[in-house]
Structure 1
Amino acid sequence: MNARLNAHADAPASLDGLLRPRAIALVGATERSRWSNGAFANLGELGYAGQVHVVNPRGGHIHGLRAAASCRAIGEPVDAALLMVPAHAIEDAFGDLHEAGIANAVILTSGFAETGEDGARRQAALAGLARQHQVNLLGPNCLGLINYIDRIALWTIGLPTRLTGNVALISQSGATASYIADHAGRQGVGLSYIVSTGNEADLSVARLVDYMVDDEATRVICLFLETTRDTATLAAAARRALAAGKPVVALKIGTSPVTAKAAQAHTGSLVGDDRVFDAACRQLGIIRVHSIDDLVATAALLSRLRPRGGANVAAIAISGGICEIAADRAEASGLALPELSVRSRDALDEVMPSFGTPHNPLDLTGAAILDPALFARSIKVLDQDPDIGLIACLYDLPTEPRHGYSQQVIQQVGQAFSAASTPGVLLSIAPRPVPDFSRMLAEHHGLVYLGVGLDRGVAAIAQAQWWARQHPLSPQPSRTALPAGEDVQRPRSERETLDFLVTQGVPVVPARMATDPVQAQGHAASFNGPVVLKIASPDIAHKSDVGGVCLDVAVEEAADAYQQVRHAVASARPDARIDGVLVSPMRRHGIELLVGVVRDPQWGPTLAVGLGGVWVELFKDSSLRLLPVGAEDVLAMLGELRCSALLDGYRGGPVVDRRWLAEVIARIGDAALALGPDLASLEVNPLLASGGRIEALDGLVVWNTPVEPAQ
């Protein structure tokens, strides 16, 4: 059964008619338009074998074909139409499509959401027309699509590459897609599809990713994103892709305020929190890259081989300096090049010259110049090491016919990799194009070759290794939050927040409310030790900023501390509602963590964990995940923190029970989900961890709508 998703229940489920049309209509065709001329020329250049119809109300002959006055007048079935008409004519064009039974349309026309509020309203109306007439709509403001497998082009500028392969490229920017495809072609990377989604009034990147998961011709899916829409569909499609062993590689802009503004001007869309997108990629097995070079390099590698997940990488070269550069780049990329096993080192001693040293990366020394077969013998040894999951040979492939030493090396490496069970890649030393001669030479010798250079190549290997460790996808967390209950008032203050967390299984520091100095003194005495006094007010989020906190208060000083807190707050915030003063036992030792949940506008509830207390804003050391999460996910988050060593008793500090801490943090995430969709954020700061004692010391809830005062 086809598991493809359908974002619109009333829209056609299949995109085959759009991406694999047997008959095409060019609506608004005219030889006075470079868009029309380009689209028609591309169909001929790519060798489209289907029917092409041109439509223009004036009729006549256009591009050598008799023009129909409308789509209805064609009189034959048409699968997809390319609309090149002005914005004011779009509505009539859609009515014509509907009457002609055309269920797929590509809209080149601009002047919609990218132009501002008026354009956004026009785009919303356009989306409504697509739903009304059950049309799969690509665009508006897009360059179209190319299907290299079936030789189909609904593309309005020059073809960026003609090289067919197994990499699909889906881009919200048509011009950027063209640049990416052109670079891929220079690197010898062939494409299965290019799809430019433009403003995404109907079809989004997410739905196209979902289609490509089931496309047999596509092995890798590349994305260029300015923003993310329909994240639920994208997440589900990414999980299907990971389970199917089909990598998704994403280049997304929006890491700085400057690019965020540029994206808004270009697409009419806001760029979401970049770190949330990063977290989503980690959870969904999406490989995130930050440049066109890295996108193409990673796709090039994964389109040709699959490294073994969890296994190590070994590299060989004919230069000690190159080996050292490779080692440095591997460390910078987070790629482990571990020491070889004793067995492998002993075996290499048998084939290496006496002055060589078996090491990873392996310097074959100048002996390989006299004896190119040393490449093959070394690869054979590494192939027999069960801990090695990928072998990288660092050597340039010739770009033109030549004989002699290089040809001998390529032959030896090709024979060795062909006989090996371990995946192998030939990686150029410096970036260089991969012309037809190099590509055919690699194919002749059965080589996977990357001409991207050491820096990009090593980074691509690191990304591929990370992806291999994610596949197959681990089960999604099956946690269920305890219900908040319809009759429970939404927490509005710190105490109400902590009380709610207790109902969700979160350990909370004891606290008692005092409304006068005498009560404060009595509560302090009940705790049998120094206490903390904190103002309790639904209007004050940061209590220490207004003098609302007293720490390490002795029992006999509690009454005075109460007065001090009340006076300070009354002076700083005379408008604030005051419930009283909370009295809690003083906790002296432990690691203070922040655990927060915020609702991202694209991805929904997102959990952040980091160093808490007063340090959170200074160090900004945190890890993010989309909710829900399980304890295993949180353990991974804790391991990502730069301050992670503090949890293990750094310099005599307390050793924290990480598993119990992870469980408590997961419960806080569950609690946030239980509060429902109107929750803007939930924050526990600090969550104190000391050995096996984990306690929430402070809690804050922010709502999207005002909370009624307690009666």
Structure 2
Amino acid sequence: MEARSGNAAGKWSPPPHASRVVRQIHAMLHPRNIVVVGATDKPGNYAERIWNNLIKYGFEGGLYPLNSKREAIWGVPCYPDFASLPEKPDHVLVMVPARFAVQVVRDAAAAGARSATIVTSGFSELQDAESQRLAVELQQAIRETGLAVTGPNCLGNLSAGENLFTNIDDRIVTMKAGPVAIAGQSGAIVMAIRQALEDRGVGVGYMVTTGNEAGLETTDLMNYFAIDPSIRVIVVYLEGVRNTSAFREACKAARAAGKPVIAIKLGASEGGRAAAMAHTGALAGSIESFDAISAREGVIRARGLDELVETTECFVHAASPKGSRLAAVTLSGGKRGLLIDAFSAAGLNFASLSPAVSEKLAKMLGPGSIVGNPLDAGFAAVVDPSVYMQSIKIMIDDPDTDIVIIDSELPKAPHELRERNLHRVNEMAATANKPVIYISTMSIGFTEFTKGLRQSLPHIAVMQGLDRAVGAIKSLIEYAALPKDVPEIASSSTASARAMLERMLKNAKGAALDEVASKRLLKAYGIPISKEAIAQTSSEAVKIARQIGFPVVAKVVSAEILHKSDVGGVMLNIKNAAEVKKAFEQITSRVKKLKDKPKIDGILIAQQVKADLELVVGTALDAEMGPVVLFGTGGVEIELMKDVALAGAPLDAAEAKKLIGRTKAGVRLRGYRGKPALHEASVIKALVGLSNLMMDAGSRIASIDVNPFLVNSRSGLAVDGLIVLNNRAAKASGDH
């Protein structure tokens, strides 16, 4: 057997304006040849398994094994180095030990290679000094050579249109280009997703395992899939997002192209975040922050692999709905009830049938039938089986329905009537201009017959498990309602506010700004604060209180005390001068007795605001996803209610209003059970101001906590505020 050579050029090429990275990825997924560096015939080794897959699936480009110690291997010539190859290397599979991999990358690039996949492990996923050193050297080599590189510590890729499968997976692969592209850091999970989708008859055009992402990141692959016309749905597995702005831009590109991004994200628990660190060296942030930022860009996060498969199935085979008006047909009263309960729990409801449709159904079903939506056609269908198909057609033809759901599952063996019905519904769905979705209320196994039948029904979605199906349909509706382009939002802060921010950050000494400094900065950013002043003596405190007007509040001011109430540093409802003097002395005495002897900058005397609602507003710099803004029920109820929502910064007034609307506090703010609406405008102004402040600060502020933010029908005021600094970022920024 001779070494194979040839040319495997892709039919589609990126447009001239495509980025360099996109062109690199195209070269990697559509290579002219593949060189296996580290070829060995040791039984069961990765190199041999990948070689066998390339042969089995008929990659048409050149295939060359490379090993300086062998003249022949796997029945073909084996080459000692890149210079000995019959043609310039194009895509290089690096299978050598980690200590040799960096030089292989450099040598491959020097010989003319355009891309590489480094299957070898032993880099940043390990914590020892040598592995970390090799990881740095590898990244440097990739940058300097300009190669498109996936890995290290990955399991290879699939490009179905090229019959390319540089992967160790020995399960049968249907090498047929499909509308789904998958990319992710875990090779095993990405391969499992591909297999599950294939078993469901969903074609996968590309599968890329990115491993440690020393070169190409999942974000880069998303940008490529967004412009490849063969791809309609992008599936990603993320252990960590390394570059939030690049991730958001990739999501925007996918959304502009009308391609949903369906994601599995590690980090929903502390254990999950720790696992991400151990696995690929990624820094996983909170899942709430990921949702807050990615949801705005249209990302659909699946809570598990089964949900991901169902959601992908739904988006591949269901048309985009024009609205959320559901219709359903079932043959069981019990399943009708399950459908109503499941969709209602997700905030979705079945449409009321028009009088004309109700009359048509009643006439067809006969006397004694209960006409409703969902429609139970079971009793009438026993008498006349054709009634079932007529009911489905009426629901599909009804202009007052946006999605038609059919309660049924695919047969496991040939069944003439059910097969005929399925093909008829598939024909209806092809011209319906609305999604038609089959739901099996429980999961069933797909036989080889089921798989073949499913592939013959391209115009209907076939979903398993009622709860997962409901979630997928809700995602389908929400995605269809999104505008195609994500609006750009810039900071609307004033020059004077930004100047004050720079001065305060430059002069800050401790871990946080004290309350007075924090609130001065908040006020500069348009966040209304209570009347207040700082006192150094008890007599000065009395004078301030009289100017403000009783009752007042007294609070210790110290950048070294983050939680004043915990140390007895706050006293409320002070009604007269004597009580002011007493409060000043008691707070001072308590703080001076603390073991760590914090520096006292004074006692703050502030107006006591009468409020109808206590809110919390704030921001935080998520370790992975960047700045997020928080809103919810505040005060002493914050821990009990846990009624908070997050949104990614930056925010404008419209986005702030949406954030408010996602909480119970938002319902109370707008008037609840006959109570008057409260001053929502002040809350919106505060949220936008906080967003501006966080964006202007970059990474130099770790968090801002305003709790409580008090609201009544006339105004809203921040009566407390704490700005915690990210001292590491401030130090790294030099003057900042």
Q: TM-score, normalised by structure 1?
A: 0.94
- For residue 538 of structure 1, what is the aligned residue in structure 2? 559
1:16-49 Cα distance to aligned partner (Å, 9 max, x none): 1111112111111122252122111111222211
Deviates more, 1:641-650 or 1:317-326: 641-650
Deviates more, 1:458-467 or 1:104-113: 458-467
How do 1:290-689 residues align onto structure 2 when only pairs under 5 Å count?
Answer: 290-403=303-416, 405-435=417-447, 437-442=449-454, 444=456, 447-483=459-495, 484-485=498-499, 488-490=503-505, 492-556=513-577, 557-572=579-594, 575-650=597-672, 655-689=677-711
- For residue 713 of structure 2, what is the aligned residue in structure 1? 691
With over 3 angstroms needed to count, the CA separation of the structure-2 counterparts of 1:429 and 1:617, relative to structure 1, is closer
Deviation at 1:56, TM superposition (A): 0.9
With over 3 angstroms needed to count, the CA separation of the structure-2 counterparts of 1:637 and 1:327, relative to structure 1, is same
The answer to whether residue 295 in structure 2 is matched with residue 247 in structure 1 is: no
Deviation at 1:276, TM superposition (A): 0.7
5+ long unaligned stretches in structure 2: 1-14, 732-736
Q: Tell me if the contact between 1:39 and 1:154 (Cα under 8 Å) persists in the aligned partners.
A: yes
Q: Tell me if the contact between 2:236 and 2:261 (Cα under 8 Å) persists in the aligned partners.
A: yes
- For residue 269 of structure 1, what is the aligned residue in structure 2? 282
Give the distance between the partners of 1:3 and 1:485, measured in 2 at CA.
Answer: 39
| Runs of 4+, deviation exceeding 4 Å | 1-6, 442-447, 651-654
The answer to whether residue 270 in structure 2 is matched with residue 260 in structure 1 is: no
Deviation at 1:422, TM superposition (A): 2.2
3-state SS in 2 of match to 1:311: coil
With over 3 angstroms needed to count, the CA separation of the structure-2 counterparts of 1:344 and 1:243, relative to structure 1, is farther
Q: Tell me if the contact between 2:34 and 2:91 (Cα under 8 Å) persists in the aligned partners.
A: yes
Give the distance between the partners of 1:438 and 1:65, measured in 2 at CA.
Answer: 41
Counterpart residue identity of residue 28, structure 2: L
Q: Tell me if the contact between 2:92 and 2:113 (Cα under 8 Å) persists in the aligned partners.
A: yes
Deviation at 1:675, TM superposition (A): 3.2
With over 3 angstroms needed to count, the CA separation of the structure-2 counterparts of 1:591 and 1:315, relative to structure 1, is same
How do 1:104-143 residues align onto structure 2 when only pairs under 5 Å count?
Answer: 104-118=115-129, 119-143=131-155
1:180-239 Cα distance to aligned partner (Å, 9 max, x none): 222222222221111111111111111111111111221111111222222222110111
3-state SS in 1 of match to 2:348: coil
With over 3 angstroms needed to count, the CA separation of the structure-2 counterparts of 1:342 and 1:3, relative to structure 1, is farther
5+ long unaligned stretches in structure 1: none
The answer to whether residue 49 in structure 2 is matched with residue 38 in structure 1 is: yes
The answer to whether residue 40 in structure 2 is matched with residue 18 in structure 1 is: no
Deviation at 1:449, TM superposition (A): 3.8
3-state SS in 2 of match to 1:259: helix
Q: Tell me if the contact between 1:83 and 1:105 (Cα under 8 Å) persists in the aligned partners.
A: yes
3-state SS in 2 of match to 1:264: helix
With over 3 angstroms needed to count, the CA separation of the structure-2 counterparts of 1:663 and 1:340, relative to structure 1, is farther
1:460-484 Cα distance to aligned partner (Å, 9 max, x none): 2122122222242341324433342
Deviation at 1:83, TM superposition (A): 0.8
Identity level (%): 30
3-state SS in 2 of match to 1:330: helix
Deviation at 1:128, TM superposition (A): 0.6
Give the distance between the partners of 1:42 and 1:280, measured in 2 at CA.
Answer: 39
Deviates more, 1:677-686 or 1:242-251: 677-686
Give the distance between the partners of 1:243 and 1:44, measured in 2 at CA.
Answer: 38
1:118-168 Cα distance to aligned partner (Å, 9 max, x none): 222211111111111111111001001011122111112324632632111
Give the distance between the partners of 1:12 and 1:392, measured in 2 at CA.
Answer: 39
3-state SS in 2 of match to 1:115: coil
Q: Tell me if the contact between 2:180 and 2:203 (Cα under 8 Å) persists in the aligned partners.
A: yes
Give the distance between the partners of 2:383 and 2:17, measured in 1 at CA.
Answer: 57
1:277-305 Cα distance to aligned partner (Å, 9 max, x none): 12122111100011111111111111122
Counterpart residue identity of residue 31, structure 1: D
Counterpart residue identity of residue 488, structure 1: R
Deviation at 1:444, TM superposition (A): 4.6
The answer to whether residue 296 in structure 2 is matched with residue 283 in structure 1 is: yes
- For residue 231 of structure 2, what is the aligned residue in structure 1? 218
Q: TM-score, normalised by structure 2?
A: 0.90
Counterpart residue identity of residue 311, structure 2: T
Aligned length: 703
Deviation at 1:531, TM superposition (A): 0.9
Q: Tell me if the contact between 2:429 and 2:460 (Cα under 8 Å) persists in the aligned partners.
A: no
Q: Tell me if the contact between 2:151 and 2:211 (Cα under 8 Å) persists in the aligned partners.
A: yes
1:93 to 89, 104, 107: 104
- For residue 232 of structure 1, what is the aligned residue in structure 2? 245
Deviates more, 1:305-314 or 1:582-591: 305-314
Deviation at 1:372, TM superposition (A): 3.3
Counterpart residue identity of residue 21, structure 1: P
